Amino acid sequence: MRERIKNPSLIQWIEEITALCSPSKIHLCDGSEEEYNQITSQMVKAGTLVPLDAKKHPGSFWCRSHPDDVARVEENTFICSEKKEDAGPTNNWKSPAEMKKKLIELFGGCMKGRTLYVIPYCMGPLGSPSSRIGVEITDSPYVVLNMRLMTRMGDAALKQLGNGPFIPGVHSVGVPLKPGQKDVAWPCNPAVRTIAHFPETRAIWSIGSGYGGNALLGKKCFALRIASVLGRDEGWLAEHMLILGLTSPEGEKKYIAAAFPSACGKTNLAMMTPTLPGWKVECVGDDIAWMRFGKDGRLYAINPEAGYFGVAPGTSFKTNPNAMKTISRNTLFTNVALTPDKDVWWEGIGKEAPLHLTSWLGESWKLGSGKPAAHPNSRFTVSSKQCPIYDPKAEDPKGVPISAIIFGGRRSSVIPLVFESFNWQHGTFLGASVSSETTAAAKGEMGKLRHDPFAMLPFCGYNMGDYFAHWLAMGKKTDAKNLPRIYYVNWFQKNDQGEYLWPGYGENSRVLKWIFERVSGKAKAIETPIGYIPEKLDFSEIFVKDPARLFHIDRAAWIKETEELSHYFKLFGDHLPKEIHSELEALKKRLFS
């Protein structure tokens, strides 16, 4: 291993973690196909992975997690800044000294009987000045497979690292094995589950969970919680945003970034098949954007990831045909159902369930049993390069220029289909005002309305009041004409009978068309107290029951919204920028005028 690693700091860190965790073996990952195949073979033998039918899903596998290890665990996620106020009121805080003491105890001997994997990985296109290198140490082969699909992992990342700095992350399932002890298919230890971030030292420690962003430390831990701190300190943005390219029938192309809480349609929008003739969407990324200003004063974005960790339920050829094509091969499916002929199935896949399935719990499932066959937060992991509409500039080291930024959430009322902010400051206020009905992506009650500013509530690595201030400061770094325009959308309005007012999915291209034409100076808008709404939206060839209601501004409901926001913003105390308070007061004044 030493001959492959030229970075003294990395060698020293690996030795320290090895001494602490006491693994049986050490493996430095090279990211090769041979390595991937070897690990999948081991996991099939261990009963963790089940190969899928080679004709239906070549190169793909099914696995299921522990029933108590299925989602983000925000109650076990900590920001360990030196000062509590730097973590802010929306994060769980522990002092670095206290947390480090706890972690040293938890990690002591935690990898006995297991292999310690060293995963060097690059977040962002290889060779991009915007990219960063991380190194994850883990005892989970499942993590290795997912990190290979989700990041640019292995020797290429190690070569780019050289003697430079890296973000260290150490992960363990927290289940050491005694000599001769048989392992379980999904080792985890919910009793000790802890995901800790150290903003000052840029380090990540995670133990007890083997699932998703709790274990794939390049994802939310590095790409958002630590990267948001890097962005604050260095003058750029790390955001929970998709990036798409939108091309008009005339061949003009613009890039749009959009922030939605998890499981609110980001992947569907990022991979949309427009219903409007001649319009084309291409996908740069479906979850995270790192954005910084270029020499021309415009905001440029890269996708730090190289794969998709998408929600399976509801994904079908009707809702997202491009996602279905993407996951047709070389995909890891976690917590979906398994058919008798070794295919996968989930609720909303667009075809009837077979009479019998193996559920995500590993139980025999029959049609009409009343239980979900797939977990609501079941996932697929797959390389971005398999996406049939992968944008040709997705790997461009410079990134892509962003013309518009969209915020949105899952709201059954109040918020209209789309409206545009008056300016960057007002747009920042809109981002700070995002609230959404909760989904299965996070552990806890579903359908409850919660504030989720910028869709970053679980992911901001520092005080969110200071995060709002950082957005405001970014708007002053360039001429206003260079800034992206900011929009707010809501695909989820319902009528009095509980039916969705808007068809969504590919029809969302009609909203994107209006945004595109607004940015181009071609589409007209009507000024309202909350922002600009379309003077006209393209409803050609579709039937919408109540188009007026889609854009109705219920002043009484909005006044209640401002009262709720006023109460919420008090949470941030002196850290709330005065500009956010001013925008709230201005909105109230417009609503009462």
Amino acid found at 579:
E
Reported as type and span, the H/E element at residue 408 is strand 400-408
List C-alpha distances in Å: 235 to 48, 77, 291, 398, 476.
Answer: 43, 26, 10, 16, 11
Q: What are phi and psi of 369, to 5 degrees?
A: -70, -20
CA angle 60, 61, 64 (to 5 degrees): 150
**What is the Cα–Cα distance from 349 to 408, expressed in whole angstroms?**
25
């493996």: which residue's tokens? 27
**What is the Cα–Cα distance from 306 to 122, expressed in whole angstroms?**
9
**What is the Cα–Cα distance from 65 to 190, expressed in whole angstroms?**
12
Question: Quick check: is 221 catalytic?
Answer: no
Q: What are phi and psi of 88, to 5 degrees?
A: 85, 175
Strand blocks (E) in 139-240: 152-153, 167-172, 194-198, 203-207, 237-239
DSSP string spanning 565-578? HHHHHGGGGGGS-H
Reported as type and span, the H/E element at residue 384 is none
- Beta strands across the sheet bearing 364-366: 344-345, 337-338, 356-358, 364-366
Q: Which of 21, 29, 221, 264 is catalytic?
A: 264
Q: Indicate which residues carry an active-site annotation.
A: 264
